[in-house]
Structure 1
Amino acid sequence: MATKSKKKFYITTTIPYANAPPHIGFTLEIVQADVLARWHRLIGEKVFFLTGTDEHGSKNYRMAKEQGLTPQAFVDKNSNYFRELTKILNISNNNFIRTTDKKVHWPGVLNLWKILAAKGDIYKKKYTGSYCSGCERFVTEKDLIDGKCPDHPNLKIELISEENYFFDLSKYSGKITQLVKEDKIKIRPLKWKNDFLSLIKDGLTDVSFSRDKEHLPWGIPVPGDENQVMYVWADALTNYLTGIGYPDKKYEKFWPADVHVVGKDMLRFHSGIWPGMLLSAGLPLPKEIIVHGFLIVDGQKMSKSLGNVISPLELRKKYDSDSIRYYLARTIPFGDDGDFSEKGLVQRHNDELANKLGNLISRISTLIEKYGMEKCENKLLKKLKIKEIEKHIEKYEIDKAVNEIFAFIDVCNEYVQNKKPWETHDKKVLYEIADSIKAISILLWPFIPSTSEKISEQFGFELKYDEIKKPLKISKIKKGEILFKKIEIEEEKKEEKDRILSIEVFPELSKKGINVFSAVFKNVKISNKNLYLENLKKEILNSEINLDKKIIDGYKEFYKDKNMLSGADSILSIINKNKMFPNINTIVDAYNLASIKTSVSMGAHDLEKLKGNLRIKLTDGSEHFIPLGQKELIKVELGEYACMDDEKILCRMDIKQCDETKITKNTKEFVIYAQGNKNVNRDYLKNSLINACELIKKANGGEYNLIEQKINKQPEVKEIMTGVGSVNFSDWEKLDLRVAKIKKVEDIEGADKLYKLELDVGELGKRIICAGIKQFYPKEKLKNKKIIYFSNLAPRVMRGIESQGMLLAASDNEHKKVLLISPDEGAEPGMRIG
């Protein structure tokens, strides 16, 4: 058991950039830091916990101008959001430092600059380089992927040329490397120590320490040079000193920092630049740098520049602070990336906080109020692994520490179930559980402070670490408020997308060899790029690409008179032209890789944008669609084939996808299909799809289920009507042809060939059909006309209208002349033809 100690403990978060309200990624950092700060207070240490906001820089200056605000008003507004975050999440920081504070921050920054300059470690030179405004640093080609910063792909890399001050970091490169290797600057978890050492194996380079005031008017002036302002590292990093009083001697009470908590993208600056500045100034170095991972959304780091943030301020309006704190501390280990999920938060709240902890407190307090307690030795406490919990905290394994505490809560709940104090009224059992609740509450205080404080007040004990060893004093305990009310999870409504259960190839195309295999993917996280896929692309580019000519020719048969390429052929054409593999996103890139490997055409569509089941059929000439990347509808010719849902064309032949259903970074569920031809074996086609699905899963996560192709058993009307081929009598008997009377004729918006007809079919009632006869019959000639109606043809959706059958008509071979087939006078609606 840790003993009471008066030694100091100084912990910091990074100071987030105040260009927008906070996102859930920084919330993870500040909650993890607060858990550590509270733990060290709990064991009796003198703790100082610092956080704040970084407020200078080009982004804030530019964004303030865009919003019609002064830079100071702009950062005041955003800094207040971060200050509010500390309050609503019960963060126990001792100070909130702002880099625009001229009284508290500026004096220390100016003092440190002068010390470094006097040491000869700051010099001026002209420099031209690529600059990422998201990272606020110059970058080299090796830092970029396809000319973009991997952490800020939406921001343009700028080429900047100007004369600035630089800090001679390279002078301290060897010393910093040695200090990190020898753990004199500890980086934890260890994998990040190794990552940093790998990063600096070629040595640390000098860093820009200022910007031209003409380009950046918003910053701390460089001493003795009115044309320059300090760059972020000279300014923001110094907050760890100014936040505790530097340059006043009082800062020495807490310096050096015991722990800097930083995100993995901040590692190089806190382990490289910051120690270099301190070595130059002759100041003690921080003891440990603890690294946390990113919170992931859609497969990418959650960040303001990508616009995919979750607001903790909005989240707090829905959930208690302890529920949010508990979920972040319990679910996401230091050093690892984690996926924030509201559903996961609710599950943890209900299953662990409400069911396990909350119910234990409620049951025991109710029984104690009724039957009282009798003091005795609490043998249950022997099952509480306090030493293990302490070790986990010391190693920054806060998720494992809270897991041990809840393991003991399980022990207590099981003990209550076995002893049944509601039947036995055993006061000693109730005392043992109450005393155990004291220990649990004290240990949980760093994680869920509000709840622990309520329990301590209800059971009458102090939240001090050494109270765990002391027996609980007998006091009057009453049943209190419900600590954690269950949160109802709304069952997701089944939408149209849940009905995507089949894909059908119509017989006229099936006979020509068109066949498909498809799958439905769920719970994917899509990003712009994936390292594994990028390496596969490089392998392909460095090898000879040979598509299967027989398979490609099988596709070309369907558009040999058109200037078109099949899916794989089109990708190869782009590769040959651009000397690089196309990059769309990690779903499209994955199935494009599979397509190049197998020569099979593939496509995918966002399930949320689909209506009903999928079918591949011949077009009737009335269809239109918007091709990928375009805005205007184009007409689809009669006799082509297309993949359709109930309302629209999804893909024209195997190559032209519609824009509406494309896969984007917001897609969560989608259908993917591999389309074969007469030269593609069914097993080969299935394996090609599985190959694509496994690539997608590796790069995007999620799970998939294969969908079997539906075989259309409907007799082919065209052959029966035209006399092409022989027809069995049993096939003829399946047709239900009736006399029908046209009651109403309406135009269909956007359709130049179709009418919507309302038919009277006698005993069958009213039926609606779509008929492509607009060019041949004016409306007035159709009303009340009797026709022959094919009543049991499977319905299909045309232009958003379900057509419940078809009428019979005669036409010439060019379809230039169409005549309706009408029954004799005296035939009544509903009469059967046969």
Structure 2
Amino acid sequence: MTKDTFYVTTPIYYPNDKLHIGHTYTTTAADTIAKFKELQGYETELVTGSDEHGQKLQKAAEEHDMEPLEYINGIVKTFKDLWSTLEVDYTGFIRTTSQEHKEDVQQIFKKVYDKGDIYKDKYEGYYCTPCEAYWKERELDEEGNCPDCNRPVEWMEEESYFFKMSKYEDQLLEFLDENPDFIQPAKRRNEMINFIKDGLEDLCVSRTSFDWGIPVPIDEDHVIYVWFDALISYLTGIGFGSDEKKYNNYWPADIHIVGKDILRFHTIIWPAILMAADIELPDQVFGHGFLTVEGGKMSKSKGNVVDPIKLVEDFGVDAVRYYLMREVAFGTDGSYSTEAFIRRLNSDLANDLGNLLNRTVAMVEQYFDGVIPEPGPETDYDLDLKETANEELTAMAEDMENLQFSTALEHLWTFIRRTNKYIDQTTPWILAKDEDRKDELGTVLYNLLEALRIIAIALKPFLPEAPAKIWQQIGIKSDLDQQSWSEVEEWGLLEAGVEVNSGDPIFPRVDIEEYFAKQDEMKEDKEEETAEMTEEDKITFDDFSKLDLRVAEVLEAEKIEDSNKLLKLQVALGEEERQLVAGIAKHYKADELVGKKVLIVANLEPATIFGTESNGMVLAASNDEGELTLTTVDQDIESGSKIE
């Protein structure tokens, strides 16, 4: 029986900092292939999440004087905000601190232990806390540092439980020989095979030097090593211990998409654990390359991290997702630059696609009063356009099966460019001058609109916004979300006699020089704002005394209709109740505010904001990255209390 489900995962990201464009690259790829398979008629699952245990996180929380989960919660929120901004439609977000996941991990650990494949011994060796990875001396780099991140390692000696990974060396090699497509791209397969042939050592799977982790079910003095813990999230995500029907429908996973730096964990450690637990292995692990910027691999310490949120704010979500999937062949390393980003936006999206839509709709309005004409007799140009559509979209689908997003888009753009050339070949502006050629003109414009119909559907997995805009402008009444890949493969489904709707350009061109000039100006303004205050900037105590700062308890909260950032709050100041408007909807959900005690300016002049009256101002703190948190009190105190 043909499998009609599709299950893809991203890595379970480590919440020790905000995610950058490299993480966005991975998740965008997973979301794109999931949406493509859904377009083909599959029932899809996309699981992502956060890997929330380990020594590194415990230390980070201590440095912030916070409990680990309290520290992690704030960062996980930024993960979900980013995926929402990029319109990633994940079906499962697994937090490894969840009770469901804890039970799954302990169940599998116990099963492997009962099989005799986990034993207690003493670990002696090097450990990289940032990577949560164990290393032998021979594996360190030339300077004695971690070979993955090049940071210092520490010598460690502690009692640990070990997984008999060496026992599965031959079984792993046999599996890789029988399943040559398991590791992709193919060039990474030999690296992993050679690693196994060099000899696998048993894997340390527990720690005692810290306690932030899932307790070992047979010995609660130990916590389970984060990589044994985190990998099992792929099972938790589709109901391993909670929903047998769902689990049986979706496991084994079709693809784990990971960065090449964690390929060893996913193609050696993970399969060995699954073999020991008598669980079927996933179909494929795809280790993509890195996106680099000046200074090499992105890292906060190098100061070369690209913020995807700012890119979306500056250029839109479609442009960001298109660039990530188009610029670099998936599986190879690539280099990011904002200049290349803008050039790609202008060339492909604004010129090729945007202009095709604008020209076509304008001609239908000019020559047919905005009504889609019936197609008439065909010429060789018409037949060639159809043939190009068939060839390029067939090739596009084949490339998508192999996660070759860049070449898949190149095939689609070959068709888009061919459609633009079709306009130049058929010269509709000349046909319009001859009434006897009205039918021929109708065929040309119908074909242009039909090409746009097909393009809109084919773009759905890649661009979350533009396809709907195209759909609306070319006048189609049916639901775009109900279209499938079969509607891409058939020419002539566009209904004639329907009115088109011209609109603004879907991809305005960006002037590169103006953009960078504006960025420089904003940077200068920011530097001026953060410069040391002059005496004139300071206020007197009398000025401060004029502010009536109060503690207010949030009684009700709701989003203001048609606003993306405003919430309407009903608050209590002792016996008094007030209505406030706060621009915090991108940072807080309405239901999580109820019951909070926040600080407000109570004597601010009333104002009407977005048609809603506001009697006061909620105070909040924000940083340069746009993160925002409400100001509150560190102990419970009555609402209405004055801040002095």
Report matched runs for 1:164-313 at 5 Å.
164-183=160-179, 186-212=182-208, 215-248=209-242, 249=244, 250-304=246-300, 306-313=302-309
Shift of 1:26: 0.8
Moved over 4 A (4+): 304-307, 491-494
**Which residue is equivalent to 1:320?**
316
* Conservation of the 8 A alpha-carbon contact between 1:185 and 1:288: yes
Shift of 1:199: 2.1
**Which residue is equivalent to 1:455?**
470
* Conservation of the 8 A alpha-carbon contact between 1:11 and 1:50: yes
Shift of 1:163: 0.3
Letter in 2 for 1:411: R
Q: What secondary structure sits across from 1:412 in the alignment?
A: helix
Q: Which runs of 5+ in 2 are unaligned?
A: 433-440, 518-644
Q: Give the one of 326, 338, 341 matched to 1:342.
A: 338
Letter in 2 for 1:199: F
**Which residue is equivalent to 1:7?**
4
Q: Give the one of 331, 335, 348 matched to 2:327.
A: 331
Report matched runs for 1:383-402 at 5 Å.
383-384=388-389, 385-402=392-409
Shift of 1:14: 0.7
Letter in 1 for 2:375: K
Letter in 1 for 2:287: V
What is the rounded CA distance, in whole Å, between the counterparts of 2:287 and 2:508 in structure 1?
34
Question: Measured at CA, do residues 151 and 308 of structure 1 come closer, stay the same or move farther in structure 2, by a change above 3 Å?
Answer: farther
Q: Give the one of 408, 424, 430 matched to 2:415.
A: 408
Report matched runs for 1:721-736 at 5 Å.
none
CA offset digits 1:226-263 (Å, max 9, x no partner): 21111112210000000111113132221100000011
Q: What secondary structure sits across from 1:91 in the alignment?
A: coil
**Which residue is equivalent to 1:29?**
26
**Which residue is equivalent to 1:431?**
446
Say whether residues 1:128 and 2:124 are aligned partners: yes
Shift of 1:6: 6.9
* Conservation of the 8 A alpha-carbon contact between 2:125 and 2:156: yes
Query: What is the alpha-carbon root mean square deviation over aligned residues?
Result: 1.8
Letter in 1 for 2:406: D
What is the rounded CA distance, in whole Å, between the counterparts of 2:101 and 2:418 in structure 1?
50
* Conservation of the 8 A alpha-carbon contact between 2:352 and 2:417: yes
Letter in 1 for 2:485: Y
Q: What secondary structure sits across from 1:449 in the alignment?
A: coil
Letter in 1 for 2:499: K
Q: Give the one of 415, 422, 427 matched to 1:420.
A: 427
* Conservation of the 8 A alpha-carbon contact between 1:179 and 1:185: no
Shift of 1:90: 1.2
* Conservation of the 8 A alpha-carbon contact between 1:174 and 1:203: no
Letter in 2 for 1:234: F
* Conservation of the 8 A alpha-carbon contact between 1:302 and 1:308: yes
Q: Give the one of 60, 64, 74 matched to 1:63.
A: 60
CA offset digits 1:21-55 (Å, max 9, x no partner): 10111111111111111110111111111111111
Q: Which has the higher helix share?
A: 2
What is the rounded CA distance, in whole Å, between the counterparts of 1:25 and 1:443 in structure 2?
25
Question: Measured at CA, do residues 83 and 201 of structure 1 come closer, stay the same or move farther in structure 2, by a change above 3 Å?
Answer: same
Letter in 2 for 1:386: L
**Which residue is equivalent to 2:37?**
40
**Which residue is equivalent to 1:82?**
79
**Which residue is equivalent to 2:572?**
none
Q: Which runs of 5+ in 1 are unaligned?
A: 495-834
Shift of 1:358: 0.5
Question: Measured at CA, do residues 432 and 492 of structure 1 come closer, stay the same or move farther in structure 2, by a change above 3 Å?
Answer: closer
Say whether residues 1:473 and 2:495 are aligned partners: yes
What is the rounded CA distance, in whole Å, between the counterparts of 2:463 and 2:310 in structure 1?
19
Shift of 1:455: 1.6
Q: What secondary structure sits across from 1:10 in the alignment?
A: strand
Q: What secondary structure sits across from 1:15 in the alignment?
A: coil
* Conservation of the 8 A alpha-carbon contact between 1:169 and 1:276: yes
Shift of 1:483: 0.5
**Which residue is equivalent to 1:20?**
17
Say whether residues 1:484 and 2:480 are aligned partners: no
Report matched runs for 1:519-534 at 5 Å.
none
CA offset digits 1:387-420 (Å, max 9, x no partner): 2112211222111010011011111111112222
Shift of 1:143: 2.5
Shift of 1:201: 1.8
Say whether residues 1:117 and 2:113 are aligned partners: yes
* Conservation of the 8 A alpha-carbon contact between 2:49 and 2:93: yes
What is the rounded CA distance, in whole Å, between the counterparts of 1:306 and 1:240 in structure 2?
32
What is the rounded CA distance, in whole Å, between the counterparts of 2:509 and 2:365 in structure 1?
24
Q: What secondary structure sits across from 1:336 in the alignment?
A: coil
* Conservation of the 8 A alpha-carbon contact between 1:23 and 1:309: yes
Q: What secondary structure sits across from 2:197 in the alignment?
A: coil
What is the rounded CA distance, in whole Å, between the counterparts of 1:491 and 1:478 in structure 2?
31
Question: Measured at CA, do residues 187 and 458 of structure 1 come closer, stay the same or move farther in structure 2, by a change above 3 Å?
Answer: same
Q: What secondary structure sits across from 1:218 in the alignment?
A: coil
Q: What secondary structure sits across from 2:162 in the alignment?
A: strand
Shift of 1:305: 5.8
Report matched runs for 1:699-738 at 5 Å.
none
**Which residue is equivalent to 2:47?**
50
CA offset digits 1:617-637 (Å, max 9, x no partner): xxxxxxxxxxxxxxxxxxxxx
Question: Measured at CA, do residues 375 and 493 of structure 1 come closer, stay the same or move farther in structure 2, by a change above 3 Å?
Answer: closer
Shift of 1:487: 1.2
Shift of 1:147: 1.0
What is the rounded CA distance, in whole Å, between the counterparts of 1:417 and 1:303 in structure 2?
48
* Conservation of the 8 A alpha-carbon contact between 1:50 and 1:96: yes
What is the rounded CA distance, in whole Å, between the counterparts of 2:450 and 2:297 in structure 1?
44
Q: What secondary structure sits across from 1:19 in the alignment?
A: coil
CA offset digits 1:450-503 (Å, max 9, x no partner): 111222233315332111215211221111232111112126999xxxxxxxxx
Mark the structure with the bigger radius of gyration: 1
Higher relative contact order (CA 8 A, sep 6+): 2
What is the rounded CA distance, in whole Å, between the counterparts of 2:8 and 2:205 in structure 1?
26
What is the rounded CA distance, in whole Å, between the counterparts of 2:92 and 2:180 in structure 1?
27
Say whether residues 1:375 and 2:382 are aligned partners: no
Report matched runs for 1:91-170 at 5 Å.
91-102=88-99, 104-145=100-141, 146-153=143-150, 155-170=151-166
Shift of 1:307: 4.7
* Conservation of the 8 A alpha-carbon contact between 2:123 and 2:158: yes
What is the rounded CA distance, in whole Å, between the counterparts of 1:80 and 1:364 in structure 2?
43
What is the rounded CA distance, in whole Å, between the counterparts of 2:470 and 2:313 in structure 1?
23
Q: What secondary structure sits across from 1:109 in the alignment?
A: helix
Q: What secondary structure sits across from 1:229 in the alignment?
A: strand
Shift of 1:308: 3.1
* Conservation of the 8 A alpha-carbon contact between 2:40 and 2:485: yes
CA offset digits 1:713-752 (Å, max 9, x no partner): xxxxxxxxxxxxxxxxxxxxxxxxxxxxxxxxxxxxxxxx
Letter in 1 for 2:495: K
Shift of 1:342: 1.0
CA offset digits 1:81-107 (Å, max 9, x no partner): 1111111111121111111112x3112
Shift of 1:151: 2.9
* Conservation of the 8 A alpha-carbon contact between 1:35 and 1:447: yes
Letter in 1 for 2:256: H
What is the rounded CA distance, in whole Å, between the counterparts of 1:352 and 1:29 in structure 2?
22
* Conservation of the 8 A alpha-carbon contact between 2:317 and 2:464: no
